[in-house]
Structure 1
Amino acid sequence: MVFLLMYPPTLRDITLEMSNLYATQTKGKQLNMSMDELLTFYGILVAAGYSTVPRRRMHWSLDSDVHNESISNAMRRNRFDEIMASLHFADNTKITDDPFFKVRPIFTELNKSYKVMPYPEWLSVDESMIRYYGRHGCKQFIRASSTGYMHHMEPYGGRHTLLPETGLGQGPSVVLGLAEQGEVPQGCKFHHDNLFTSLSLLDEMTKRGYGSCGTMRENQFMRLPRGSSEVLTQGEKLLVRWKDNNIVTMATNMEKNYSETVVKRWNKERRAFDQVQQPQCIKLYNEHMGGVDLHDQQASRYSITIRSKKWWWPIFAWSLNSALVNSFYFYRDVMGGTIDLLTFSRVVAQSLMQKFGTKPLSHGRRSLLAASVQDQARYDQDSHWPINTGNRFLRCRLCDKRTTFACEKCNASLHIECFKKYHGQ
């Protein structure tokens, strides 16, 4: 399964070992989670992303309006709760001052497994935010991505961010650090926004054999008609200022000679499209910059809805969704698959639950909702008829003794003698 290639065995082994250890250390009991149970746990979380209910435990409810047979047949609800309460990725007795200590193995192992996809020519660098509902100082997230497939990621933790310091500032250090730690081959072309771009970055990227193109912050500008541009060359760098709806300032080391292309822009006054000259570097930037946003969009489509009070849970849940998206791109672009992301997610979830899950011997009691719905029909005194089920092991709903009879409408096991009293007649 391609998903298990992206969410690698090394990370699964760490999770299994640390979760069993955590249960012993903090709860004083053996969790004894197996690898099959962990994979089933993953499958249930993925399924909860596209089959949502307001409360986690409703996935195991027997009520017909919320019952999920795939989930309830894969793992008992109480066992799922035990695994969720003990899930861990690091030994708490070896904690460091790294604010991402508890989830650091996730980033390390996923970055290794994501290298299975070769780097394309065009890459984008951007920041991303993981949805978080609590209070924690480290929520920003920076990563490198191409056209939707994520190759490398690094969480932002202030001075604890594991990226080399270049002396060029935080933004340029991120781009250079991701290129270095991600082992990006020379010749690749990076696109980034004004958070990362500086002229010193372009000089350093040129020395290292990388292309670099990004927007720059510009506070003062002249009034120019749409399509107007100003160009400045400095060594290997090309600086362009172009008037669209707003002024756009771009710096690149990928073009020695300035060139333009024609684009369409809507003219409100004429109520028609105008042909406008656009710098070629801006056209390429627009084409290749959106990789991180595309990955974010795909990962949030069927994001895991099961929540926990642990601060790191959103990062773990996001990692599963991210690995699922990367698996989908690998399946589509390398293996030639044709199904969409939703179908792919369902195949992954069902495969994990059916292959590694264990069907419980019995299900729990009826919910209060089911009892209430049945009681509504119990006293309506309409079309209640006794039938012989032929089953010798039924228990009378009223006296709790064995009977073979039941109410045809209520489906309640009853003696003939108890039938009238049960229905309030």
Structure 2
Amino acid sequence: MSNTYAAQKGANLNLTDEELLTFYGILLTTGYNSVPRRRFLWSGDNDVNNTSIKDAMRRNRFDEIMASIHVVDNMKITDDPFFKVRPVFEELNKVNKTMTIQEYLAVDEMMIEYFGRHGCKQFIRGKPIRFDLWSLASSSGFVYQMEPNAGSHTRLVETGLGQGPSVVLGLAEKAGVPPGYKFYHDNLFTTLTLVDEMTKRGYGSCGTLRENRLFDIPLTPSKIFRKTSRGNGEFLIEDGKLIVRWNDNSVVTVVTNMENKYSDFDTQRWNKQKHAMDKVKQPTCIKSYNTHMGGVDLHDQCVNLYRIGIRSKKWWWPCYSWALNSAMVNAWCYYRSCKEGDRDLLSFQRLVAQSLLQRHGMRPQGHGRRSVLASAICEAARFDNMNHWPHNTGRKYMRCRKCDGRTSFACEKCGVALHVECFKKFHVNQ
């Protein structure tokens, strides 16, 4: 598709698989070794020098690929707002579905950082305005299914139960989750009808519940229940659902179909007045929710740790680079759980990036142009009258900086080719 896009612009890109993998390696390298300007990656200056990237691909070639990188044919545009990056998410979902699904699953939204203008930016109170992804992940952070939130164009089954239940049931259906697995979701998704539907489909369901979704459930109102002592709880069992209200830092309500009776255990909370830990009762279903709910947030956090540092003015580039980082985090989770590896994410990403550069990169033949900073440093030391000595380099075809003739001599300090006759003239400030 990149070659097709370049041809549509009248250019001849001739991008190969080897170059594309090298391109990915460079992008991943910028996640943990970033510079203020991407051209510094190819600089010969010691403070920003990156030999692995310089030896893998020319800077101008990288710029050509960056200008033409595409995953779709622009001549076959559709009404899908995520048309530009839809194949990337579809391919990731296809690969992720081949992995064994863990028993405990979390449903939540993930954010892709984007501050430009686009119709699919979602507003969620208390969160930055960014692209939103509905995600299904294990409690260890492996994402099995992701779906961009595109409003009416979101490709999830409409159940008629509302947006939250449609997202949970749609992700479970697309990921092919068999009955018997347990889902955890926050109050954005949880409704009593969702728990009933999950019970019918053979899924376990547990989630926090908003006050305005309780309807006629006879629980103490939150404003009154907040005035009770910390650790106080009440519960109600109705139609196979356990509904628990508990007073902690604030009042929280949880509904689940995975417990037939109420149970709790002792836990500790900090008491500001006593400056000591207090022993309070915590419901078991809330402990289970806290243990297994954070998988999506964990994946999102890992993606942002070593996010690709190269930017673009194209609106879809944040989605494209985010997907590459997400694939890296999923590969790391697979490596740790299935391969029983002990590398952290940074070491794993460095290993993958450098392997791509070394295996698929092509070492340039020339040395490139001398950097402006190197020239400025040489000029600053040129007239200091300290330790400038001529020496024979043994090379026959260097050009004298002063007269442009051939010479084998150079200044030992400046590193500039000079005839012995031109040596004094070059170092005297006239």
What's the TM-score, normalizing by structure 1?
Answer: 0.94
Instruction: Confirm or deny that 1:113 pairs with 2:95.
Output: yes
Query: Match for residue 358 of structure 2?
Result: 354
Partner of 2:177: helix, strand, or coil? coil
Query: Match for residue 13 of structure 1?
Result: none
What amino acid sits opposite 2:409 in the alignment?
F
Instruction: Confirm or deny that 1:61 pairs with 2:10.
Output: no
Instruction: Confirm or deny that 1:237 pairs with 2:230.
Output: no
Of 182, 206, 225, the match for 1:213: 206
Partner of 2:88: helix, strand, or coil? helix
Partner of 2:85: helix, strand, or coil? helix
Q: Distance in 1 between matches of 2:404 and 2:258?
A: 83
* Structure 1 residue 231 displacement after superposition: 0.5
Query: Match for residue 328 of structure 1?
Result: 332
Q: Distance in 2 between matches of 1:390 and 1:180?
A: 72
What amino acid sits opposite 2:74 in the alignment?
N
Moved more, 212-221 or 249-258: 212-221
CA deviation profile, 1:12-65 (whole Å, cap 9, x unmatched): xxxxxx11111111x212211000000000000000111110001110011111
Of 284, 290, 294, the match for 2:288: 284
- Whose helix fraction is larger, Structure 1's or Structure 2's? 1
What amino acid sits opposite 1:375 in the alignment?
E
* Structure 1 residue 98 displacement after superposition: 0.4
Instruction: Confirm or deny that 1:374 pairs with 2:368.
Output: no
Instruction: Confirm or deny that 1:90 pairs with 2:72.
Output: yes
Q: Distance in 1 between matches of 2:234 and 2:336?
A: 42
Q: Distance in 2 between matches of 1:231 and 1:265?
A: 21
Q: Distance in 2 between matches of 1:229 and 1:49?
A: 46
CA deviation profile, 1:152-186 (whole Å, cap 9, x unmatched): 10000000000000000001100000001110111
Instruction: Confirm or deny that 1:318 pairs with 2:322.
Output: yes
What amino acid sits opposite 1:51 in the alignment?
N
What amino acid sits opposite 1:22 in the alignment?
Y
Q: Distance in 1 between matches of 2:86 and 2:11?
A: 26
Query: Match for residue 22 of structure 2?
Result: 40
Q: Distance in 1 between matches of 2:175 and 2:397?
A: 65
Of 158, 165, 169, the match for 2:158: 165
Q: Which ranges of 4 or more aligned residues in structure 1 deviate by more than 4 Å?
A: none
Q: Distance in 1 between matches of 2:23 and 2:389?
A: 44
Q: Distance in 1 between matches of 2:311 and 2:375?
A: 28
Instruction: Confirm or deny that 1:21 pairs with 2:4.
Output: yes
* Structure 1 residue 117 displacement after superposition: 2.0
Q: Distance in 2 between matches of 1:158 and 1:382?
A: 69
CA deviation profile, 1:107-157 (whole Å, cap 9, x unmatched): 111001012321111000001110112111212211111121111100000
Instruction: Confirm or deny that 1:187 pairs with 2:180.
Output: yes
Partner of 1:299: helix, strand, or coil? helix
Q: Distance in 2 between matches of 1:150 and 1:202?
A: 22
Q: Distance in 1 between matches of 2:98 and 2:374?
A: 49
Instruction: Confirm or deny that 1:263 pairs with 2:256.
Output: no
Of 384, 391, 396, the match for 2:395: 391
* Structure 1 residue 256 displacement after superposition: 0.8
Instruction: Confirm or deny that 1:135 pairs with 2:94.
Output: no
What amino acid sits opposite 1:322 in the alignment?
S
Of 147, 167, 179, the match for 1:154: 147
Q: Which runs of 5+ in 2 are unaligned?
A: 121-130, 213-220
Instruction: Confirm or deny that 1:79 pairs with 2:83.
Output: no
Partner of 2:165: helix, strand, or coil? helix
Q: Distance in 1 between matches of 2:387 and 2:368?
A: 29
CA deviation profile, 1:207-261 (whole Å, cap 9, x unmatched): 0000111001127411211111111111111111000010000011111111101
What amino acid sits opposite 1:144 in the alignment?
L
What amino acid sits opposite 1:316 in the alignment?
Y
Partner of 1:102: helix, strand, or coil? coil
Q: Distance in 2 between matches of 1:91 and 1:390?
A: 55
Of 298, 303, 310, the match for 1:299: 303
Instruction: Confirm or deny that 1:404 pairs with 2:396.
Output: no
Query: Match for residue 123 of structure 2?
Result: none
Partner of 1:212: helix, strand, or coil? strand
Partner of 1:364: helix, strand, or coil? coil
Aligned length: 407
Partner of 1:184: helix, strand, or coil? coil
Q: Distance in 2 between matches of 1:79 and 1:411?
A: 29
What amino acid sits opposite 2:104 in the alignment?
W
Q: Distance in 2 between matches of 1:163 and 1:24?
A: 35
Q: Distance in 1 between matches of 2:205 and 2:92?
A: 26
Query: Match for residue 126 of structure 2?
Result: none
* Structure 1 residue 338 displacement after superposition: 1.1
* Structure 1 residue 363 displacement after superposition: 2.3
Q: Distance in 2 between matches of 1:168 and 1:278?
A: 31
- Report % sequence identity: 61
